[in-house]
Structure 1
């Protein structure tokens, strides 16, 4: 078996058995296709055999990525993909040992997530003109993003059947198609309830039928790209940081909860994080803010 054939099987395994999202499978495909392309060129062969997949070859691949001036984060992702592929090949009996385990990735700088202050979030949520159908929808979706701490893919994937507005909960399908319950505050519930009659009228005008909560002008499901575009407009309108993305509202949700004393494991569950380490980055944000305040205010700091 060539590693090109093994890659096709690995990608199928990710999608069907591991429930990886299409985006995750696409990333693995791109990363590993590049690694195999490098190997073929270096070995001057039409395909890569398991015996060719050595630590020495993979070390040369990582060095080449550095020479091509790839970002450290990209190199780390490529290396993680190669490690996962090696682990799979060992489980399948194609390799005896994973040659990627001996490789060290680049040291990544810890970037603290960008977030909005509570006052800035209030400005943003007030920006849509809720008297128009599009503004009513946009107010509801921004309130939902912030109130529930959703990923934008989770937001646009919401169906009416997923929402229980009486109890203020929604069923969310997150990474790896895992389901979790997310909470909606009174402001988000109220905004969605105001949007629903507009949504029904829109479907009637468009002669369309859709289970999605958030719709475009033609009655179809709103896309993640559309949410990004409309957010850009409201940021400009509210005079807020243009670096803000839909994911910033998720960062803001977590940071504000921890600032207010929420339990980190509860926040982890609400965010749908598999590992507590992923959630802990937000504790660094709140700690840094405390330190900044201390340095500014304490007479002996």
Structure 2
């Protein structure tokens, strides 16, 4: 019988990190878990090629600073990843190392040296913006005579009004947007963060008309559904095509 006080192996730590830490304790989004999972798939393949260790025999102390630097260089030079992708992969590894340090005291020195590796700096491009006429043209582009067009006009106006992410907007329930005297949208963001944003009168008017078009939609139904009444994932795919997994294109 295994000793419950013994130091867990790398494979056990990795499993606990995904199932217990990310899945239960932090309750991160499925998209974040998928990104972390892809990072470790790349890392495990690299470790097997670089130091000849299969995932089943890899140890936490193998992930020293030099190994991680070699892995990050591999991402940039061999896989042609940019600085943003490199930093995102390193952020996933850092999260795991910080978690693992609590359970494998023998690897603390190695982890401490690895965590000293900085994120790579890069030049951030100057953000562009649309003029008021250009923004108005986008808001008025959907055909208001059609079901989808009326939905999209209300959706675009709400996003412009509130600054909501696509995922936040399409995840709104009917009850989340109040158009009575208060006129406010209650948004549910990343990391279970919530915020309430006042609505402009034109936005509230569009949503009021759209709610009438929804007819008997329940309060817990999606405010901007597809024809089947479900969340319309196509909006997320077009906003973040690199993360699309549904072959919608």
8 Å contact kept, 1:21–1:177: no
Displacement after TM superposition at 1:50 (Å) = 1.6
CA RMSD for the aligned pairs? 2.3
1:152 to 166, 185, 191: 166
Separation of aligned partners in 1, 2:95 and 2:41 = 14
Structure 1 match to 2:26? 18
Structure 2 match to 1:163? 177
Displacement after TM superposition at 1:210 (Å) = 6.6
Is 1:117 the equivalent of 2:131?
Answer: yes
Structure 2 match to 1:193? 208
Is 1:88 the equivalent of 2:99?
Answer: yes
Displacement after TM superposition at 1:151 (Å) = 0.4
Unaligned stretches of 5+ in structure 2? 1-7, 241-249
Separation of aligned partners in 2, 1:189 and 1:144 = 8
Q: Which moved more, 1:78-87 or 1:184-193?
A: 78-87
8 Å contact kept, 2:65–2:114: yes
Structure 1 match to 2:65? 55
Separation of aligned partners in 2, 1:221 and 1:42 = 44
Closer/same/farther in 2, CA of residues 134 and 66 from structure 1, 3 Å limit: closer
Is 1:34 the equivalent of 2:42?
Answer: yes
What count of residue pairs does the alignment treat as equivalent? 225
2:76 to 46, 53, 66: 66
Q: Residues 65-108 of structure 1, C-alpha deviation per residue, up to 9 Å, x if partnerless?
A: 22212111111111121222111111233531324223233321
- Structure 1 residue matching 2:108: 3-state secondary structure: coil
Structure 2 match to 1:107? 121
Q: Residues 121-153 of structure 1, C-alpha deviation per residue, up to 9 Å, x if partnerless?
A: 111112222122222111100101111110000
Displacement after TM superposition at 1:209 (Å) = 10
Structure 2 match to 1:128? 142
Displacement after TM superposition at 1:227 (Å) = 6.3
8 Å contact kept, 1:214–1:221: yes
Q: Residues 176-204 of structure 1, C-alpha deviation per residue, up to 9 Å, x if partnerless?
A: 12222122211111000111121127x6x
